[in-house]
A and B are shown apart, each in its own frame.
Chain A
Amino acid sequence: MKNKYSIFSLVKNAFSQHENWKQAWGNPEPKKEYDAVIVGGGGHGLATAYYLAKKHDMKNIAVLEKGWIGGGNTGRNTTIIRSNYLWDASAGLYDHALKIWENLSQELNYNIMFSQRGVMNLAHNLQDVRDLKRRTHANRLNGIDAVWLDTKQVKEFCPIINTSQDIRYPVLGGTLQRRAGTARHDAVAWGYARGADAMGVDIIQNCEVKGIKRNGDQVEGLETTKGFIKTKKIGVVAAGHSSVIANMAGLKLPLESKPLQALVSEPVKPIIDTVVMSNAVHAYVSQSDKGELVIGAGTDAYISYTQRGSHDVVEGTLKAILELYPIFSRMKMLRQWGGIVDICPDASPIISKTNIKGLYFNCGWGTGGFKATPGSGDLFAHTIANDEPHKLNAAFNLNRFVSGDLVDEHGAAAVAH
């Protein structure tokens, strides 16, 4: 790494009032040709480029981003990281990511503020209790830490929760994954961008893809707002806009893009030191290091690319939050926003080749892609470099919608991911 960050570089730069820090990544113009081009400069796309350069020795590659890096869903999610999924394929995928998260700050020499504060999933009815207990057992069999907590233990772990049995959806217990937690979303994009740039990857911002050129069944390059770029391998990591890019190549995907909303409150002193998710009432909450409550709402039930979402969705979530945490009743919400998430029929992602040679898709993360960022990048890089999936993402191929071998995490997972 050119400019290693350390206590010494911090002290050295303090003498010049921190005005001489070098740019963490460059701002190059696109070359005429690359060995591979990644479309989408979010966390997943930048991680893909990073691992292509690091593990597969592909240095002549570019990441194209139509806006600024990390400005899409990477900057819009609620930063929750966990791996307590029910099915083996999902458990393998998400725990692979979690293991990379655990050492990522050191690897990138960039503080991504990974905090293993635990994620608790609440049960509000008997079916929830059965489902969550089953998931706890499944997790343990897959080597993923999980414990079942009864109502009293839930209260002890997070004292501000209202565990009265007289509320509409009383807390009957919950599961806890202690290795789970949160990370700083922007830092993840920036850390990967800096790491990729240091290995020679071109990160090209404000460059929108307008078309994909094919010669028969082989891709030949991309039409962009910065001209034509020749390449034999295109990895698309465009989240909510995956279908838009797919349509350019004449491909249809099993995706629907919908707004997913989140909101943050005014900052307050530390009040909740974990992440609490609740599937049945659809409310989840954590507290950022700045002190804001970070609250995740649900998706709107119609296709839209507006990055807004409807008020009634937020209203529903806040009703549930207030019943579970009466202490928040006077808090003011500061900001609300929407991100466009691409949802698969089975609510599992696609990390896959397509029937067009040289065209790869990493999409369908729906409402829960952030937690998988490092693992997704690693496995997608493997798939692009070898033209074959890694064994951990083999189940997440596009062909599963033809074969019927779905990874049906819908409703089986904790909250809507």
Chain B
Amino acid sequence: MFIINCPYCGERDQSEFSCGGEAHIIRPKQPTELNDDQWAEYLFMRKNIKGVQFERWNHAHGCRKWFNLVRDTSNDKIHAVYKMGEKPPVI
């Protein structure tokens, strides 16, 4: 359990948010041109990092906006919050 600083609403309890998993996975521009390996890579394969991870969150029980979080998954410490479309910070 931890507190997330929503870029739109401020600090709220983690239970108000839902996690959208690994961030910056780019949707293929031409899905029909992908082979099965590439499609599996996009759809299923994840880094699942133990340590600093870039991820997407949604303030599901608040403003319902999406944003990005840089969080250490080994201790749940949050290093940075940034809005969708912004450049990821260097950690």
Chain A residues in contact with chain B, CB under 8 A? 241, 243-244, 247, 252-257, 301-306, 308-312, 342, 345, 401-404
Contact = CB atoms under 8 A, between A and B. Distances in A.
8 contacts: A243-B49, A252-B47, A254-B46, A303-B21, A303-B53, A306-B73, A306-B76, A402-B39
B48 A257 contact: yes
Contacts of B40: 254, 401-402
A311 B1 CA distance: 7
B74 A303 contact: no
B46 A255 contact: yes
Interface of B: 1, 13-15, 18-19, 21, 36-37, 39-41, 43-50, 53, 55, 73-76
B45 A253 contact: yes
Contacts, number: 73
B46 A256 contact: yes
A306 B75 contact: yes
Contacts of A254: 40, 44-46
A315 to B, nearest CB: 9
Contacts of B18: 301
B70 to A, nearest CB: 13
Nearest to B16: A312
Contacts of B21: 256, 303
Given A402-B36, A402-B40, A310 B46 contact: no
A361 to B, nearest CB: 13
A244 B21 CA distance: 17
Contacts of B14: 302, 310
Given A305-B74, A402-B36, A312 B1 contact: yes
Given A310-B15, A403-B36, A304 B46 contact: no
A302 to B, nearest CB: 4
Given A257-B48, A306-B76, 10 more contacts: A241-B50, A243-B50, A252-B41, A255-B48, A257-B50, A305-B74, A306-B74, A309-B1, A401-B43, A402-B36
A346 to B, nearest CB: 9
B56 to A, nearest CB: 10
A256 B44 contact: no
Nearest to B14: A310
A303 B37 contact: no
Given A301-B19, A402-B36, A243 B46 contact: yes
* 8 closest A-B pairs by CB: A243-B48, A302-B19, A254-B44, A310-B1, A312-B15, A252-B45, A402-B40, A401-B44
Contacts of A252: 41, 45-47
A82 to B, nearest CB: 27
A252 B55 CA distance: 17
A404 B58 CA distance: 29
